Structure 1
Amino acid sequence: MATVERNPVERRMAILHRLWLEQSGRDARIFLWEVEDDAKSLIQAFTALQQQETEYDLPDLFITFRAPFDTLFGYSRALRHELLENYQHSKEALAEQQLATDWRYPPLAECDSVDGFMAALSSFAHYYQAQFRYLVVALSPDAVSLHSSWQQWIDLALQSSWPANLRFMLLHSHSNPCWRPLEKARPHDIQKLIPDLQQHTLITEVASQSTEDNETFLYRRYMTDSMVLLQRGTPQQVTERAQRALELAQQKGWPEQQVVMHSIIAGAWLKGQDIPRAVQSYRLAAERAVQIEQPAIKHQLITQSLFGEAGAWFTARRYEQAAEVYARAAAEAQRVPHPLYVIEGYRMAGFCYQRKGHTTLATKFYTEAIRAATQLPLAERKFSTLGITLHALLTMQDKARAEALEKKAQAYCNQLTDIQRKAEKEALALGKYPAPEKTARLQQRMEQAMEQAFLHCCEQRESLIRQASIPFQRIIFAGRELLAPNWSGIPDIAHPLDKEPAEWDAPLSFMTPEPKSTEQLLQTEMPASELKEVL
């Protein structure tokens, strides 16, 4: 019987499928995948595949939980809600299979505790035990407030009542083995899964299955080989392989691909700390980009090449050269146009000049970055580096005061951690199955303490701002015009409960920006002769 050849991704799914079948029957409760950083998505895809009918089906029921982790009791409540939501969405499919749809979690599961959630899982696993071999709970929170608290949650779960057909699934990488402490503390409860995915060859394998013409295929093969060598080889090896791709791109008249290959070569020399060769390659990339006919693509690739060259100079601590190229990159980005690149180019130019003590030039370029930011809508502006730019100006105006604003914000963040830990300690003191109304009151007290800490921090920072010089305040006012009415430097702290200012328990009186504060800040223009000299 003929077999269908699998593609590279399918082959890796088969490896994961086989490894799970081999290892999941072991006497362990937590199954920990450890993979390369770029292979995490394969594990997530493998888990998602279990929701569909494929050749990689397993006799197990996989449920992925993505609720963010906040506190021990809050996370337990969120997991219970997510379990119920998933169950409600699956009722129609269960009915089609003529399976029961009347599962109800026991009263103990109403408790906002680790044991409460485990009671819900145990009940579910027992109720549907005839339908699967194992219930596999993949915990993948979208955000984690404190990793140490999340590890404590897992440890408490391991101390709870644990049905024989329940498995937890966790994931970490070789470079960031965040679950190593749990491995050491609970070696008998954890089964590590380390698949040989050979992720570094995936790109090459995909390219080798291309149906393109011979020259295009060869180019892509050389390019992917170069990218693999960039991670694992020497600069000389990367250059040798990339040159083959370059020759093909030159023969075919592909300037865009020449830019790509020169950039890969530059990255290899940069990784090898050979700055002159990296700079030379980035400049060659920019020269090839000039040959591109489509204006948007041409200016985009020139901009990227200039950013690459500037980054090389910055790595070598040649800050003046870096500043000059960052400024050119910003000017080029205006031709794309790409406002975020414009902001970042001018910001980095200012930062480099600031590092060299050229405060006048630093101020000028920071101002240019702010000017570029005014062209963005607020939603995009908030995700730019405008806040960092404004804070750099604050530091140049009054370093001690700017650092004091930072310290107040950091102290607030530390206080939030202390409040959370105190609440978790109180929650544990309530017992394994606390009454819901008790944890609700605890939640309320914790949130009140967090909000009071936030308001106190805002008051302290506002006091520092009120006592500042007019130029310092003008920068703050620009931030309040361009970012948020209560902007007070970085880090920019947000209300712990995401309330709008009008909803705060005790609304504060922030200094109101003078009319056209940003316009006043931008009044100082860089003389044309000086700008020309720098660019």
Structure 2
Amino acid sequence: MALNPVERKLVELLQLWESFRAEPGKRLLLWQAPDNGKRLIECFCEVQRHASPYASGDTFIVFDAAFEQSIGYSRALKQALAGHYAASHEDLEREGLKADWRFEPEEQPDTASAFVQGLAALATHHPALGHLVAVLLPSAVANDEAWAAWVARVLEAAGPAKAVRLLVPDFSQAPRLTALAEAQHPLVQVQQPPLDAWSIAQETFAQEPAVGAPGVFRSLLTALFALAEKGTADQVLLKARDALAFAHKQGWADQEVAVRLVTAGAMLKDQRFDAALNHYQHARTSAEAARAAQHPAGGQLVLQTWFGEAAAHLAAGQPEHAAPCYREAAQLAAALPNPPMLIEALRMASFCHARAGEPEDALALGRQALAVGERLKPEARPMTTLPLLGFELLKLVEPERAAEIEAVKHGLDREQAQHYVNTEERAAALETAGDPVALKQLERQHAEQEGLLVQQARQRADEVAADGTPAFMALFVQARTLLGADWPLVLPGAIAKAPPVPAGGTAA
């Protein structure tokens, strides 16, 4: 039986893995892959747990803890290793293995080397597991340089561990390990597995018979998405024409909207603003038809078209034309209702009026958005664009004073960044000694200093605000009441982070 495209990719990944494993001196396999290949890598790691033609006979453990700082990350990985083993007792016993390995994470220092030692101890205790493979897939990385330094330390520790291997995917949209890939490290093998998800989807649909109209349209839409990502605007237009004709023939107004939105996005990317506007407006006609036919998502589809058209006007440098679109979006979001989108529509309408030199209209719309925010639960407010709106309104009332608060925020960012670097350097220096007490003390000192820096910056920002006009102070207090004490300095989304300081220079 012929393999489908996903299965063929799993076979390719297995072959790549086996070529790495055949090099006894290598410890870390770096897979440089497109972002949309992550799911396939996760799939490959998952199938290693089962008997299948794609299984290597090695034991893969995926570690997806977020990387905030190296001490906490090392601790999280040790805990995850212990948790994985505890959850595997029944599987081991079914394989005739006694689940008697003892590993207490808290008894080991919170270091990269202690994590590797734990892996090596497990591999030694259960040789039947084959190579023990730690797949490092952090869900988030707070600092790319610190993450790369931690990977370098874990690689160094893995050198003597003959049964331990490390698999580290590095994704093309935000690569973090380029220096390691280019260093020609003797313990590292670098591979570029071909894992484009859109190509695989197209191959899958081409191989499978298209069953009825849905199958045909699925193939058309998949090809359109692939072209929107990698093709030219003209190629997108040609494929969109086929997809639109097919969807229209079937009476699928909602799918016509989908095709139009993808096409409009491609036109925007190519700076064909008039063409983008045309597609957004036609999309709205189809969306209104879907809404009239009681489509459950009809209103949301119409809303998307208003936001899209407004974005096209803004991209074309026409905020005066974008503002009415955002006002229409606000009316619809209020009727649906969709409070987060209502806040965003009002915020963007305010932004457009400010850009067009109409500050009073901008302030009025911004205050409407704040009023909507007051009706939300406190925990939901930071998940909207209220943090950004609050600071934008301050800039409308007193631009210079808002700039002073922004400078306080950027000063805090730089102080925190330097403090972070200092802590990571000290953590790396403590790696060799592996003193658990010293590491915990360092982590505690880091947290205390972080709190002190925030407290001092908040006091400075409050003093700046207190010297403002009554209108400025009223808005500041209203936003602070809505969003809590972390606004505007700590709460994400309010003020952009400070730009990086140029090498050998100082920030402006």
If you compute each CA radius of gyration, which structure gives the higher value, 1 or 2? 1
Q: CA deviation at 1:392?
A: 0.6
**Is the counterpart of residue 489 in structure 1 residue 475 in structure 2?**
no
1:69–1:236: structure 2 CA closer, same or farther, 3 Å change rule?
closer
Code of the aligned partner of 1:174: S
**Is the counterpart of residue 158 in structure 1 residue 160 in structure 2?**
no
Code of the aligned partner of 2:215: F
The corresponding residue for 2:53 is 55
The corresponding residue for 2:129 is 132
The corresponding residue for 2:76 is 78
Greater alpha carbon shift after TM alignment, 409-418 vs 36-45: 409-418
The corresponding residue for 2:498 is none
Code of the aligned partner of 2:125: Y
SS in 2 for 1:31: strand
> CA–CA distance in 2 between the matches of 1:294 and 1:366?
32
Q: CA deviation at 1:190?
A: 1.7
SS in 1 for 2:29: strand
Q: 8 Å contact 1:113–1:433 — kept in the other structure? A: no
> CA–CA distance in 2 between the matches of 1:249 and 1:106?
59
The corresponding residue for 2:99 is 101
- 1:390-414 CA-partner distances (Å, limit 9, x unpaired): 1111111122222222222232233
**Is the counterpart of residue 148 in structure 1 residue 139 in structure 2?**
no
SS in 2 for 1:378: coil
Greater alpha carbon shift after TM alignment, 210-219 vs 387-396: 210-219
**Is the counterpart of residue 207 in structure 1 residue 199 in structure 2?**
no
Greater alpha carbon shift after TM alignment, 295-304 vs 278-287: 295-304
The corresponding residue for 2:227 is 229
Q: CA deviation at 1:285?
A: 0.8
> CA–CA distance in 2 between the matches of 1:336 and 1:381?
19
Q: CA deviation at 1:376?
A: 2.6
The corresponding residue for 1:288 is 286
Q: Residues 509-520 of structure 1 correspond to what in structure 2 (within 5 A)?
A: none
Q: TM-score, normalising length from structure 1?
A: 0.85
SS in 2 for 1:332: helix
Q: Residues 27-426 of structure 1 correspond to what in structure 2 (within 5 A)?
A: 27-105=25-103, 110-129=108-127, 131-160=128-157, 161-208=159-206, 213-292=211-290, 293-294=293-294, 296-426=296-426
Q: 8 Å contact 2:36–2:195 — kept in the other structure? A: no
Aligned-pair identity (%): 28
> CA–CA distance in 1 between the matches of 2:428 and 2:266?
53
Greater alpha carbon shift after TM alignment, 178-187 vs 56-65: 178-187
- 1:347-397 CA-partner distances (Å, limit 9, x unpaired): 111112212221112112212222332333333222000111111111111
SS in 2 for 1:138: strand
Q: 8 Å contact 2:281–2:305 — kept in the other structure? A: yes
Greater alpha carbon shift after TM alignment, 105-114 vs 181-190: 105-114
> CA–CA distance in 2 between the matches of 1:270 and 1:428?
46
SS in 2 for 1:168: strand
> CA–CA distance in 2 between the matches of 1:217 and 1:364?
49
SS in 1 for 2:186: coil
Structure 1: tracts of 5 or more residues without a match: 495-535
Q: 8 Å contact 2:366–2:393 — kept in the other structure? A: yes
- 1:195-219 CA-partner distances (Å, limit 9, x unpaired): 2234332332343466665333333
- 1:159-184 CA-partner distances (Å, limit 9, x unpaired): 33531221111111233332111123
> CA–CA distance in 2 between the matches of 1:107 and 1:378?
37
Q: TM-score, normalising length from structure 2?
A: 0.89
Structure 2: tracts of 5 or more residues without a match: 494-508
- 1:206-255 CA-partner distances (Å, limit 9, x unpaired): 43466665333333322222222222222222222222222222222221
Q: 8 Å contact 1:111–1:433 — kept in the other structure? A: no
Name the Cα RMSD after superposition: 2.5
> CA–CA distance in 2 between the matches of 1:340 and 1:348?
12
1:457–1:186: structure 2 CA closer, same or farther, 3 Å change rule?
farther
Q: CA deviation at 1:124?
A: 1.9
> CA–CA distance in 2 between the matches of 1:74 and 1:295?
48
SS in 2 for 1:33: strand
SS in 1 for 2:289: coil
Code of the aligned partner of 1:350: S
Q: 8 Å contact 1:266–1:279 — kept in the other structure? A: yes
> CA–CA distance in 1 between the matches of 2:263 and 2:202?
18
Q: CA deviation at 1:271?
A: 2.2
Greater alpha carbon shift after TM alignment, 388-397 vs 242-251: 242-251
Q: 8 Å contact 1:47–1:62 — kept in the other structure? A: yes
Q: CA deviation at 1:438?
A: 2.3
SS in 2 for 1:468: coil
> CA–CA distance in 1 between the matches of 2:105 and 2:172?
41
Q: CA deviation at 1:137?
A: 0.8
SS in 2 for 1:379: coil
Q: CA deviation at 1:428?
A: 4.1
Code of the aligned partner of 1:250: H
Q: CA deviation at 1:490?
A: 4.9
1:425–1:225: structure 2 CA closer, same or farther, 3 Å change rule?
closer
Number of equivalences: 489
> CA–CA distance in 2 between the matches of 1:322 and 1:150?
42
